[in-house]
Amino acid sequence: MGSKSSNTERARKALEAMKQLGFSKKESTPVLKSLLRLFGNNWEPIEDECYRALADAILDRHQETAAADDGDAPPTRLPDPEFHQSLAHFAAAAGGGGDDDANDTNKPSSSLHPQSPPSPADDHQHATGPVSPQLFRPQTRASSARLRQDSSFTPHTRPRQMMDEDFQDAAFLREPKPEPDMVDSGNADHPSSQLALVHHPLDASSSRAVLPLTLPSPDQNVPPISAVKKRKIQPCSMVNTGKGSSVESMQEAPCLDIDVASSTMGEVKMSLKCSVDPKFRMPSLDAVFKMVEDKYLRSYKILPPEFSIGGLMNEICQCVVQLGSDHTAEHNTESDIAGNGRSSQNESITGNIPFVKPIACENGGNRKCKSAGEPFIVEDSENSTIANQQTYLALANLKPIHDVTDISKGEERVRISVVNEFTSEKCPPSFYYIRGNLVFQNAYVNISVARIGDEDCCADCFGNCLSAPIPCACARETGGEYAYTVEGLVRTTFLDECVSINRFPEKRHKFFCTSSCPLERSKNEASPEPCRGHLGRKFIKECWSKCGCNMQCGNRVVQRGIACNLQVFFTGEGKGWGLRTLDELPKGAFVCEYVGEVLTNTELHERTLQNMNNGRYTYPVHLDAVWGSEGVLKDEEALSLDSTFYGNVGRFINHRCYDANLVEIPVEVETPDHHYYHLAFFTTKKVEAFEELTWDYGIDFGDGKDPIKAFQCLCGSRYCRGKRGKAAAK
Ligand SMILES: C[S@@+](CC[C@H](N)C(=O)[O-])C[C@H]1O[C@@H](n2cnc3c(N)ncnc32)[C@H](O)[C@@H]1O
């Protein structure tokens, strides 16, 4: 707002700024006035980004005028090709943000991305360098025309507002940030599906509608747009308005013009433009999505029920990124964009309503898993339950089979995307994603209902055990109190004790095998070394199928599977790939299990040796929570999990000495004997969004006797045992 004199001064500055961009006072003044009217004399949105809104509005007006002069002819005066550059320079000169920011590789990473320190010199090259958060901004005709002309256009930090001549058809589009009026049209389960669209329909009529979508990348660092695709869906066809089947209810479908802009970092902006009736009034986007969803569900019976148009649009964006990033194939033509998208979805888009099968459903029909928690046998067509080590080793040479939009290929309840902001490697080396453990061959995992006694289940419970007045039998393992709170978090006292057992293993809870230790035995059958001890661990016991409660019972957390939004990412810190959370997580939250093949120690040892010969190191996890506390374990009872060939996202969690933000806790679900159990990761403290998730592997980096050499630890912890070991060796 401000006084009259400050208004005059601000207007003078605005016009001066426009003059520097080559716009005369005569052409700038009326636009400025209109903008001021539109913003209720609020100068801030006009001055923002060094008068970007004003400059864009002037350009829009040029284009509108040109279009009016020439009828439908293309605009006679396109924006000055140097415009964006000069705007950026002007912005820099004025001390404001602008495109220069985007190219400033020295600028620290976004605060949203605390885990992205500068990569070490010996690390892989960072393609773009850390840059300030950048988002696609919605384009008006003028600016999208520019985008099409200039593929090196760098998106700006703030999207601009879209205006027509009278600023009356405004659908204001902003960068994605949590605002109360944000329309989240995506699949709530998936972070990147939250469409950054704020839609404020005004009551004035509109001559066009533009629905831009913005997919923010997790760290918001966006390199220049690398490609702009355009596709027109023509000729117009007849669509049913849903008011009946009469001819009157049919109306001419709008000509649809689709612009897709994508960056190499996985950002996609789509804008759908269609010419509409002059009496058109902007409907709410929710209503539009609902209507299309209803149509789809009626016509095509699309499953699963969580299908949404927002999700579908997100899917389209993701496919653009995927196809556009595949430089081994020539996908970069317009027809290929359509063609490939189509063939992968097994449908054509020639009809009025394209059928697009959600990628998330692709594996739905033929899942091999029995259930989330149950281990199952790897089936081999030749030999029904046996897969030999050689076959497995051949897996190591497979081509990448990952879907970067969801490495779990629909196995998990949430999508788990893959990003690499540092090298050209698009995804990690291949492996089979499994949601639950698999028995490799000889491991004895006896899941039998008969073995679960009354004391190991709560057959009389109903609904949610946590809301019953007295804890049920399933709480006995944890001292008569459930391990979980009603919020689904591990209780602090229980959690802290688990952390302490891990942090100070020397001091407590070690069991030593009285005769031969299975681990040492597997290394040297003839004369095994003495047992080095196994940590006695605290177990969580969850309710299971023999219990009377339901699946939503608060004592069934791990078996429900991953619930938070995770991402596999290339660390750029010399640790290879890692796992991070996209959401802030409270202390005690379940993240994921360590899932892999269940092997006996002998099988594991054999595999490890073969892997070593092939230059491949694995870090399996021993299910040794009860080793040493019982009599001699037979080989088939001393089990380990190996996620080298079959695994879940747990295999990407890197090691951190002592102060890791995850702790592994054994969880009993379907086997009361504890030879086999689930290994679940819970947060040891509050974890910020985009923080890397780490756990302490318990490696003794100074142990020169171990034939399997440990990696050089780069965990960065001030308590790093690897660093200490190195220093001691000097
Ligand atoms: C279970 S995998 C973790 C995922 C792995 N980074 C990847 O790219 O697949 C364990 C391997 O990750 C690497 N790693 C994990 N933590 C590390 C650390 N703190 N420092 C260096 N390398 C680490 C080591 O190569 C180790 O063998």
Both 707 and 617 in one domain: the answer is yes
Residue in the block written with tokens 């996620």:
643
Report the separation in Å between the CA atom of 594 and the middle of ligand 1, taken as the mean of its atom positions.
14
Q: Is the pLDDT of residue 69 over 70?
A: no
Å from CA of 208 to ligand 1 middle: 52
Domain contains 198: yes
Out of 19-28, 104-113, 181-190, 388-397, which region has the weakest mean confidence (pLDDT)?
104-113
pLDDT of residue 546: 95
Residue 729 Cα to ligand 1 middle (Å): 22
Place of tokens 């809301």: 467
Helix (H, G, I), strand (E, B) or coil at 11: helix
| Count of domains for the chain | 3
Residues in the ligand 1 pocket, defined by CB under 6 Å = 428, 575-578, 617, 619, 651-652, 654-655, 711, 713-715
Mutate to test the pocket of ligand 1, among 655, 658, 700, 708 (most ligand atoms within 8 A of CB): 655
pLDDT, tens digit (0-9, with 9 covering 90-100), for 251-284: 444 455 666 666 555 566 666 666 666 677 777 7
Q: Is the pLDDT of residue 541 over 80?
A: yes
**Mean predicted lDDT score pLDDT of the chain:** 67
Residue 94 falls inside a structural domain:
yes
Distance between CA atoms of 29 and 31, rounded to whole angstroms?
5
Cβ 21 vs Cβ 90: under 8 Å? yes
Give the domain range for residue 381.
Answer: 376-729
Q: Which of 659, 672, 687 is nearest to 592 (CA)?
A: 687
| Rounded distance from Cα 652 to ligand 1 centre (Å) | 7
Smallest CA-to-CA distance from 319 within 296, 294, 304, 336 is with 336
Nearest to 234 by CA among 355, 352, 71: 352
| Predicted local distance difference test score (pLDDT) of residue 531 | 83
Index of the ligand 1 atom closest to the CA of residue 618:
27
659 and 628: one domain? yes
CATH number of the domain at 664, please: 2.170.270.10
The residues pairing with 592 across neighbouring beta strands, listed in sequence order, are: 681
The pLDDT > 90 percentage for the chain reads 31
pLDDT in tens, 476-497: 999 999 999 999 999 999 999 9
Q: What are phi and psi of 456, to 5 degrees?
A: -105, 10
| Cα 386 to ligand 1 centre (Å) | 29
Same-domain pairing of 349 and 382: no
User: Does 230 score more than 60 pLDDT?
Assistant: no
Q: Which range, of 420-429, 610-619, 666-675, averages the lowest pLDDT? A: 610-619
- Place 206 in a pLDDT band, splitting at 50, 70 and 90: very low
CA–centroid distance, residue 308 to ligand 1 (Å): 37
Q: ipTM value of the model?
A: 1.00
- Say if residue 324 is in the same domain as residue 427: no
Same domain flag for 197 and 264: yes
Which stretch of 127-136, 175-184, 563-572 has the lowest confidence by average pLDDT?
Answer: 127-136
The pLDDT-based confidence of 598 (bands split at 50, 70, 90) is very high
- Is 551 a residue whose pLDDT tops 90? yes
Higher pLDDT, 325 or 644: 644
φ/ψ of residue 113, rounded to 5: -130, 60
Please, which pLDDT band fits residue 707 given cuts at 50, 70 and 90? Answer: low
Inside any domain, residue 158 = yes
Dmax (CA) for the chain in angstroms is 95
Cut 0.90: pTM above it? no
Residue 714 lies in a domain: yes
149, 187: one domain: yes
Instruction: Return the top range by mean pLDDT from 39-53, 62-76, 313-327.
Output: 39-53
Residues 423 and 334 grouped into a single domain: no
Judged against a pLDDT cut of 70, whether residue 123 lies above it is answered with: no
How many angstroms does the Cα of residue 711 sit away from the middle of ligand 1?
A: 8
pLDDT band at 395 (very low <50, low <70, confident <90, very high): low
* pLDDT band, very low/low/confident/very high, at 89 (cuts 50, 70, 90): very low
- What are 473's two structure tokens? 């039998």
Residues 166 and 92 in one domain: no
User: Are 97 and 159 within one domain?
Assistant: no
Average pLDDT over residues 404-417: 96
Confidence of residue 404 (pLDDT cuts 50, 70, 90): very high
Whether residues 224 and 283 share a domain: the answer is yes
In a domain, 370, yes or no: no
Can you give the pLDDT at residue 259?
Answer: 67
- Looking at the domain assignment, is residue 118 inside a domain? no
Q: Which atom of ligand 1 is nearest to the CA of 657?
A: 19
d(CA 369, CA 377) in angstroms, rounded, equals 9
218 and 313 inside one domain: yes
Answer yes or no: is pLDDT of 156 > 50.
Answer: no
CA distances 152 to 50, 224, 299, 424, 429, Å, are 21, 6, 42, 20, 32
- Domain final residue, candidates 336, 360, 384: 360
Shared domain check, 293 and 263? yes
- Count of H helices and E strands in the chain? 14, 24
- 711, 713, 720, best to mutate for ligand 1 pocket (most atoms within 8 Å of CB): 711
Report whether 163 contacts 52 (CB < 8 A).
no
Instruction: Label the pairing between strands 566-570 and 417-419.
Output: parallel
Q: Which of 2-6, 158-162, 476-480, 503-507 has the highest mean pLDDT?
A: 476-480
Ligand 1 pocket test, candidate residues 575, 622, 657, 694, most atoms within 8 A of CB: 575
Percent above pLDDT 70 for the chain: 53
Q: CA–CA separation, 130 vs 127, rounded Å?
A: 9
Q: Which of 422, 430, 654, 659 to mutate to test the pocket of ligand 1 (most atoms within 8 A of CB)?
A: 654
Cα 708 to middle of ligand 1, angstroms: 14
